[in-house]
């Protein structure tokens, strides 16, 4: 599903070129559950964002479902990640002015899903995540765990084939974190490819592969 | 999707109340100003649109030579209409008007001063579209002494009685007795956008009998007569105008005016084109109206700038939402649409509020506009314009959408540019480019406000300067009574003596002009070799000089000791002495005549007995224009009474009772001379009111905007402030640091505004008579005031932030 070929990422700050990712070669098959680990500043988020097409590599080739992402224009990119990719962030990133229901609705609106189907899918997802009672609450009326639950629900509501989760449990208590990991595991079982960034060995163990990053290099 | 956008928009507005309030009300105020001025202009442009024959109706203006210059005046005399009728078959119809301006009308016991008594030929109703409620349009004005009333006038004089066949009595200055008019018709209400306006419309042929011999004197002269003609359908007025010069040569005698030709002014153009003299009806000044529109547009622009500014600052708070939306597949275009749409929404809310504001502002605007075009004691003008729903609102709706798009576009552009990976990593800082942009906007806002303030203060100073200018006589405590009743002239001496018995009254005199008024008669002088010198003439009584407080510089005042004074004594001002080359008073025979082409027709043969110091007998005109003072009781138009200022009310009460005792056929009606002076510059006063209003609105918007901006910036710095305090910075240091960056912007704005207003104000002042010069103290105080205002507003916010407990803010972060 994902092929990274000699990916480099650097920033040109004034005169100094700072490298963030070095010579990344990586293949991820559909249905995998990959955990990316490494110290802070290693480039994990950068890598995830490149995979998620929010950021572009400075050099190298990126193939998503065998299509060359590094050659695509903005429109094609946004089309691709709109249909295939769901994101989950450490800080949840829900829209504060929208209720749970409306937050879930937003990605469907951008995908131009019809009203009937929208309603059905939201009801289904609320049910699946056990948050029907919370649907009219605003994010700041929820606990962190509940917010992350909603964020995951929002990520999967468009039925993406790939979920990218950047430290999804980083701001949560351990038992809340456990629930989230179980949920991701379940989604993976149902066929969704998952790539997560985590600091915790326990969380990494939920996946079937671990990639270690250090100073931008993948550790063998 | 729209619902999704709307929800976010409304919840954002609701959550940030201060910010929303300032932006929405700023915009609403700007729009209200613009809406009002725009409708005023629309109203002005709609003048006479309702006249069905309007395209073929023209006002005939005389073009005459005076002092070597060509002048154009709409007052034509009474003979022109029939001359045109007889010579040109192209002229289908003609109507002459006479306007008496100030009259006294009575019916039974009720008597009122009326300013809209008009005379018109009986063709009036077939030429102009004023439908009659009662009466036959062909005959209502056919007979002498008929009058048509408006419904309002009928109600005022006759209540619910049937007015037809009733009589109203006219008292006019210069007429021996009251004249009765029979009501023959009632019109519909006169549209407020009609240049021709009247409360009473009397038959023109009455004037023949009323004025008698004098009527013929006004054949070609000025008088208050106007001529309107209707040409054959679509006839080109130019082809008629070319025939006028030869017509003038053949028929129009050289008289007081050296008439060259006549000009046809299309009815639709008469409103903005009054000519050099007084027009019969409403008139406007195009530059004035467009200046007002421009000012209101500036206010609106300031409000838009304020909005853009706050929106740009606040866009940072929306960065997370943008990032999230982008991650979920929103493209840049969709985001721009969302944020521009939000701005349009705000603009439309402001628009709705502005409609309410306009209704509140309209009475204020109307009264200032009416003041601007009033003629003081002579005539008043009601400017009765309204919003023209719904077409006006249609325009404004479009304008507010434009305002929304313009104000929202830049912020939307900035917002949509955010890189989602950065936003999500929390790396986003308020972009440097938008900070620059914001600074420029703040500077612009304050610069415009300061320019407005400086202009307004200069205008105020100028008006005060006029108000307090030395007129060369004592203008305070002078009471002025216009004379309508002719019998008053016979009883004047008795009345005067009676008044003088009261210690509260220091002097009584009369004249044919109000001192420091707008105009004066002209006579020509012949004395020895000197001849045909035009001089202004004041007809007065012997106490005039004493009473109004003029200074004799040579010779003597009029006196009872010299019985010849009443007949032949004249006193001139220094200007006339110089112009005529007189060195001494006395010994010289002086002849006065009205027409330089007929020197034989001598009005007076006189003796120069004295010279007075120059004074402003005409306001705004130079004091040394030549003037003669001559005793002439028959010309009495105003009684002037000087009261002592200890107890003015008692003095006025005394005058009132004496007036009653005299049983004059005229009700008591007076004004202070100073009030009349006000009307000389009421136009500028009105202009200043507008500028003052604009400067108030802009400075309020600018300061509120600055406050919101400062609040926003300072609120984001609470952590930094906390850290600085922990490290030992004092409250004062922090306040200074926070405030300075804003105050610098205001100071830059002032540095820009001062030279601009210098140029602007110098230019404006140069066009005014008796003008002041650019005033450095005004600049200093305006600059100081605005700086202090900005400092206190930002300082207040900074103080609150600096005084807060740092531990709290740090923990909170
Ligand atoms: N815009 C940028 N300019 C320069 N360096 C950057 C920029 N963005 C990120 N970095 C650097 O890239 C490195 C990797 O960042 P990141 O991928 O967020 O690390 P991780 O998620 O592993 O903690 C960090 O050292 C960070 O400082
Ligand atoms: Mg990271």
What ipTM was estimated for this complex?
Answer: 0.82
Chain A residues within an 8 Å CB radius of B4? 98, 102, 105-106, 109
Output the pLDDT for position B812.
43
Q: Which residues in B have their CB inside 8 Å of a CB on A? A: 1, 4, 7-8, 11-12, 15, 320-321, 323-332, 334, 420-421, 424-426
Say if ligand 1 is within 6 A of residue A13 CB.
Answer: yes
Among residues of chain B, what percentage have pLDDT more than 70?
Answer: 95
Tokens 């409000």 belong to which residue?
B303
Q: Which residue of B has its CA nearest to A80?
A: B329
Output the pLDDT for position B132.
94
Region B521-547: mean pLDDT is 89
Output the pLDDT for position B221.
67
Q: Can you give the pTM of this predicted structure?
A: 0.81
- Domain spans of chain B, in order of start: 1-47+300-429, 54-270, 484-665
* pLDDT tens sequence across B109-133: 778 888 889 999 999 999 999 999 9
Region B250-254: mean pLDDT is 82
Region B603-609: mean pLDDT is 90
In angstroms, what is the span from residue B425 Cα to ligand 2's centroid? Answer: 8
Chain B residues within an 8 Å CB radius of A81? 327, 329
Region B758-772: mean pLDDT is 87
Chain B residues within an 8 Å CB radius of A82? 328-329
CA angle B296, B300, B306 (to 5 degrees): 145
Say if ligand 1 is within 6 A of residue A53 CB.
Answer: no
Among candidates B8, B332, B421 on the partner chain, residue whose Cβ is nearest the Cβ of A95: B8
Say if ligand 1 is within 6 A of residue A43 CB.
Answer: yes
Q: How many CA atoms lie within 13 A of B710 on its CB side?
A: 30
Say if ligand 1 is within 6 A of residue A12 CB.
Answer: no
For A35-44, B230-239, B263-272, B725-734, which range has the lowest pLDDT when averaged over its residues?
A: B725-734
Output the pLDDT for position B539.
93
For residue A13, which ligand has an atom nearest its CA? 1
Residue-averaged pLDDT of chain B: 87
Output the pLDDT for position B256.
63
Q: Please indicate whether, in this complex, the C-beta atoms of A109 and B1 are within 8 angstroms of each other.
A: yes
Domain count for chain A: 1
Cα–Cα distance between B793 and B787 in angstroms, integer? 10
Chain B interface includes A74 (CB < 8 A): yes
Q: Which of the residue ranges B55-69, B72-86, B304-318, B343-357 has the most confident prediction, judged by mean pLDDT? A: B343-357
Cα–Cα distance between B705 and B407 in angstroms, integer? 14
Best of B324, B337, B338 to mutate (most A CBs within 10 Å, chain A): B324
Output the pLDDT for position B664.
82
- The secondary structure of B510-539 as a DSSP string is EESS-TTBS--EEEEEEETTEEEEEEEEEE
In angstroms, what is the span from residue A165 Cα to ligand 2's centroid? Answer: 11
Output the pLDDT for position B371.
79
B813, pLDDT greater than 50: no
* pLDDT tens sequence across B558-573: 998 988 898 889 999 9
Burial class, A32, CB count within 10 angstroms (exposed 0-12 / middle 13-18 / buried 19+):
middle
Region B253-258: mean pLDDT is 72
Cα–Cα distance between B483 and B638 in angstroms, integer? 5
Cα–Cα distance between B238 and B246 in angstroms, integer? 15
Among candidates B8, B326, B331 on the partner chain, residue whose Cβ is nearest the Cβ of A98: B8
Size of interface A-B (CB pairs under 8 A): 65
Which element (helix H / strand E) includes A85?
A: strand A85-88
Among residues of chain B, what percentage have pLDDT more than 90?
Answer: 41
Region B244-248: mean pLDDT is 91
In angstroms, what is the span from residue A46 Cα to ligand 1's centroid? Answer: 7
Q: Which of the residue ranges A174-183, B225-234, B799-808 has the most confident prediction, judged by mean pLDDT? A: B225-234
Among candidates B7, B327, B426 on the partner chain, residue whose Cβ is nearest the Cβ of A102: B7
Among candidates A54, A74, A105 on the partner chain, residue whose Cβ is nearest the Cβ of B4: A105
Q: Please indicate whether, in this complex, the C-beta atoms of A110 and B330 are within 8 angstroms of each other.
A: yes
Say if ligand 1 is within 6 A of residue A130 CB.
Answer: no
In angstroms, what is the span from residue A47 Cα to ligand 2's centroid? Answer: 9
Q: What is the CATH number of the domain that holds A198?
A: 3.40.50.300
Output the pLDDT for position B432.
53
Higher-confidence residue of B809 and B623: namely: B623
Q: Looking at the CA of residue A39, tell me the nearest atom of ligand 1.
A: 22
Phi, psi of B437 (to 5 degrees): -60, -45
For residue B421, which ligand has an atom nearest its CA? 1
* pLDDT tens sequence across A102-143: 999 998 988 888 999 999 999 999 998 889 999 999 999 999
Confidence of residue B809 (pLDDT cuts 50, 70, 90): low
Helix ranges (DSSP H) in A21-142: 44-51, 74-84, 100-110, 115-128
Q: Please indicate whether, in this complex, the C-beta atoms of B329 and A102 are within 8 angstroms of each other.
A: no
Output the pLDDT for position B122.
93
Phi, psi of B606 (to 5 degrees): -130, 175
Region A159-166: mean pLDDT is 92
Residue B84, token pair as written in the block:
């045109």
DSSP assignment letter at A41 = T
Higher-confidence residue of B159 and B519: namely: B159
Q: For residue B568, how far is the Cα from the chain centroid?
A: 43
Q: Please indicate whether, in this complex, the C-beta atoms of A98 and B15 are within 8 angstroms of each other.
A: no
A160, pLDDT greater than 60: yes
* pLDDT tens sequence across B419-466: 777 766 665 554 555 678 888 989 999 999 999 999 999 989 998 998
B638, pLDDT greater than 60: yes
Region B505-513: mean pLDDT is 93
B305, pLDDT greater than 70: yes
Output the pLDDT for position B427.
57
For B216-220, B362-366, B780-784, which range has the lowest pLDDT when averaged over its residues?
A: B216-220
Instruction: Count CB atoms within 10 A of the CB of residue B424.
Output: 26
Q: Looking at the CA of residue A9, tell me the nearest atom of ligand 1.
A: 12
CB < 8 Å & 24+ apart, contacts of A139-142? A139/A92, A139/A94, A139/A95, A139/A96, A139/A98, A139/A100, A139/A103, A140/A96, A142/A100
Which element (helix H / strand E) includes B471?
A: none
Peptide linkage before B177 cis (omega within 30 of 0): no
């Amino acid at each position: 599903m994902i092929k990274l070929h000699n990916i480099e990422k650097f920033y040109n700050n004034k005169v100094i070129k700072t490298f963030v990712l070095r010579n990344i070669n990586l293949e991820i098959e559909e249905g995998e559950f990959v955990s990316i680990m490494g110290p802070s500043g290693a480039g994990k988020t950068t890598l995830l964002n490149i995979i998620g097409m929010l950021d572009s590599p400075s050099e190298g080739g990126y193939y998503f479902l065998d299509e060359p992402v590094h050659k695509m224009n903005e429109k094609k990119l946004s089309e691709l990640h709109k249909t295939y990719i769901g994101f989950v962030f450490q800080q949840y990133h829900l829209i504060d002015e929208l209720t749970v229901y409306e937050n879930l609705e937003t990605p469907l609106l951008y995908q131009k899903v019809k009203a009937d189907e929208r309603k059905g899918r939201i009801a289904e997802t609320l049910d699946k995540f056990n948050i029907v009672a919370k649907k009219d609450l605003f994010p700041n009326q929820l606990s962190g765990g509940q917010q992350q639950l909603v964020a995951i629900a929002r990520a999967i509501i468009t039925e993406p084939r790939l979920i990218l989760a950047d430290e999804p449990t980083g701001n949560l208590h351990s038992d809340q974190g456990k629930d989230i990991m179980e949920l991701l595991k379940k989604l993976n079982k149902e066929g969704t490819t998952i790539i997560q960034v985590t600091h915790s060995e326990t969380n990494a163990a939920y996946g079937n592969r671990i990639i270690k990053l250090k100073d931008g290099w993948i550790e063998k | 999707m729209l619902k999704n956008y709307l929800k976010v928009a409304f919840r954002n507005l609701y959550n940030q109340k201060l910010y929303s309030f300032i932006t929405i009300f700023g915009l609403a105020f700007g729009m209200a100003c613009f809406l009002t001025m725009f409708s005023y202009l629309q109203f002005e442009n709609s003048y006479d649109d309702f006249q069905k024959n309007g395209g073929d109706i023209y006002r005939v203006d005389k073009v005459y030579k005076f002092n070597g210059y060509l002048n154009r005046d709409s007052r034509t005399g009474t003979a022109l209409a029939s001359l045109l009728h007889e010579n040109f078959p192209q002229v289908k119809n003609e109507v002459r008007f006479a306007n008496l301006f100030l009259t006294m009308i009575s019916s039974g016991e009720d008597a009122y001063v009326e300013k809209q008594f008009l005379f018109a030929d009986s063709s009036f109703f077939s030429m102009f579209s004023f439908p009659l409620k009662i009466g036959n349009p062909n005959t209502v004005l056919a007979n002498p002494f008929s009058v048509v009333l408006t419904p309002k006038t009928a109600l005022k004089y006759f209540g619910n009685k049937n007015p037809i066949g009733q009589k109203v009595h006219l008292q006019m200055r210069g007429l021996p007795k009251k004249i009765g008019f029979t009501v023959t018709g009632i019109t519909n209400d006169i549209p407020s956008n009609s240049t021709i306006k009247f409360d009473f419309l009397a038959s023109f042929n009455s004037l023949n009998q009323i004025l008698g011999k004098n009527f013929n004197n006004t054949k070609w002269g000025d008088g208050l007569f106007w001529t309107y003609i209707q040409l054959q359908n679509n006839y080109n007025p130019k082809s008629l105008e070319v025939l006028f010069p030869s017509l003038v040569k053949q028929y129009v005698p050289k008289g007081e005016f050296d008439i060259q030709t006549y000009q046809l002014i299309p009815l639709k153009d008469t409103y903005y084109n009054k000519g050099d003299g007084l027009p019969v009806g409403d008139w406007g000044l195009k530059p004035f109206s467009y200046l007002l529109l421009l000012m209101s547009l500036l206010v609106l622009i300031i409000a838009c700038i304020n909005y853009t500014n706050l929106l740009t600052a606040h866009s940072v708070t929306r960065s997370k939402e943008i990032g999230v939306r982008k991650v979920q597949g929103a493209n840049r275009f969709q985001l721009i649409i969302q944020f521009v749409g939000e701005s349009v929404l705000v603009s439309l809310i402001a628009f709705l509020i502005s409609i309410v504001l306009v209704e509140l502002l309209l009475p204020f605007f109307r009264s200032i506009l009416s003041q601007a075009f009033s003629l003081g004691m002579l005539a008043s003008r009601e400017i009765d314009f309204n919003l023209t729903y719904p077409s006006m609102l249609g325009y404004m709706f479009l304008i507010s959408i434009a305002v929304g798009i313009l104000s929202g576009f830049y912020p939307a552009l900035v917002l949509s540019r955010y890189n989602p990976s950065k936003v999500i990593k929390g790396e986003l800082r308020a972009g440097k480019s938008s900070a620059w942009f914001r600074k420029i906007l703040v500077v612009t806002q304050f610069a415009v406000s300061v320019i407005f303030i400086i202009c307004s203060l200069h205008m105020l100073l100028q008006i005060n300067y006029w108000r307090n200018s030395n007129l060369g006589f004592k203008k305070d405590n002078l009471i002025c009574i216009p004379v309508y009743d002719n019998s008053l002239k016979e009883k004047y001496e008795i009345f005067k003596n009676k008044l003088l018995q009261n210690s509260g009254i220091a002097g009584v005199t009369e004249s044919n002009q109000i001192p420091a008024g707008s105009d004066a008669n002209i006579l020509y002088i012949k004395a020895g070799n000197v001849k045909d010198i035009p001089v202004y003439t004041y007809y007065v009584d012997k106490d005039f000089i004493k009473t109004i407080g003029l200074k004799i510089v040579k010779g003597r005042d009029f006196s009872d000791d010299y019985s010849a004074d009443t007949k032949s004594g004249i006193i001139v001002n220094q200007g006339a002495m110089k112009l005529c080359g007189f060195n001494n008073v006395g010994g010289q025979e002086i002849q006065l005549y009205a027409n330089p082409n007929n020197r034989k027709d001598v009005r007076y043969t006189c003796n120069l007995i004295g010279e007075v110091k120059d004074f402003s007998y005409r306001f705004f005109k130079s004091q040394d224009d030549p003037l003669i003072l001559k005793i002439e009781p028959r010309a009495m138009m105003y009684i002037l009474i000087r009261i002592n200022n200890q107890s003015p009310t008692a003095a006025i009460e005394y005058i009132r009772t004496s007036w009653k005792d005299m049983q004059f056929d005229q009700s008591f009606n007076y004004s202070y001379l100073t009030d009349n002076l006000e009307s000389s510059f009421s136009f500028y006063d009105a202009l200043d009111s507008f500028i003052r209003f604009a400067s108030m609105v802009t400075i309020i918007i600018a300061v509120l905007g600055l406050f919101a901006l400062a609040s926003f910036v300072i609120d984001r710095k609470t952590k930094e402030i906390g850290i600085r305090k922990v490290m030992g910075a004092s409250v004062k240091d922090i306040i200074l640091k926070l405030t300075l960056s804003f105050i610098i912007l205001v100071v830059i704005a002032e540095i820009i505004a001062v030279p601009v207003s210098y140029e602007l104000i110098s230019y404006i002042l140069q066009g005014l008579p008796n003008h002041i010069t650019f005033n450095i103290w005004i600049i200093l105080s305006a600059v100081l005031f605005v700086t202090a205002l900005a400092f206190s507003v930002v300082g207040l916010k900074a103080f609150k932030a600096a005084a807060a407990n740092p531990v709290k803010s740090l923990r909170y972060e």
